[in-house]
Structure 1
Amino acid sequence: MNTPAHLLVGAAVFGGRTHHKILVAAFVGAILPDLSLYIMAGVSLFVLGIPPTIVFNDLYFSNTWQTVFAIDNSFVVWGVLFGLACWHRRTPWAVALTGAALLHVFLDFPLHHDDGRPHFWPFSWWVFESPISYWDRGHGAAWIAPIEAALATFSAVILWRRGLPAWGIACVVLLLLAELWVVRQWLFFFSNG
């Protein structure tokens, strides 16, 4: 899934109804599995000046980057952290953070065709090669993307109905607009279909 959709869905599921600290924790948790990619790609592209083809065709699939992705996209890591957060009931923000991150990983698992992550690290480096992709029309993105956009929209409506403060509504609207823009980009400019 696209990162804005992860943020909206994670916040809708784990963001709570009244405490804004929980909402922020859910937003943070929902982005954590993608954060390393943004940092490494951003530094490579904009600080080091490495061409995008090298960043996304070579570095992305390098052992170093895949090791980082294995850790921050691990069912095992996020599952253990979520279990600990649930066990220690005085930390609802930790449940929101780890729950949103775990949900992110679960939603990504079936939606990566040839760019998946080793989700079972440290027990296995196996990568599930799904027959469908959230971004590649050659692997079903033409019908996955509208479903993802609908899920993001539904999540945005849920969040809006919770009576968020102005900053929260602004975040939700910006994330939904970003999601719809990114879906458009994937479908019309960056797909193999």
Structure 2
Amino acid sequence: HYETTVRSLEDRQRPKIRSEGALAHHPEYAAGKRRSPVEEQISDLLLRYLRLAVENAPHVASRDDDRRHQKRSIDLARSHFQMLAGVCIEFCISIRRLDLLFGEVFRCFQAARYTPVFLDVLEPYILHDRLRYIAPEAMAEFVAHCRAAGDVSVVERCLLHMDVTIMDFDSILGLLVTNDMYS
């Protein structure tokens, strides 16, 4: 029991030391980094596209419409936001702007009330090692989303593909214990 505690303490200290240098190069923490005018313009284009796509998104039919029409409009809206999430995630990963992805882009999906769609689209990017970090706010929503869907094992699978050395160890440990993820 004592050896396990010591090993756990060593593991908790080791990532902290390693991660200090890694944080400077991580896209999430490079948010304050000075960007070229071209980089800023590219980011602005994505945000303009995102706002336009959200403003012109298909509307969900009202409850008064027949069920078939309502279901079709929900599917169309969901499909629209899935495509939009994929474009935004792909773009932000390509230009190494996770600060943008988990900042303005994520907030835009929250405001549109399509956060679950955004979180569903994140999963394959994580599992295919294209996205190795999720900002704390998005991670909390991701866990809550998976818990609500009754599939916390998705979080476990994703954590195995993420760079936990740059994430807050205590919050990750709390997340694992709270959700009985011990595998």
When normalised by structure 1's length, the TM-score is 0.31
Higher Cα radius of gyration: 2
When normalised by structure 2's length, the TM-score is 0.32
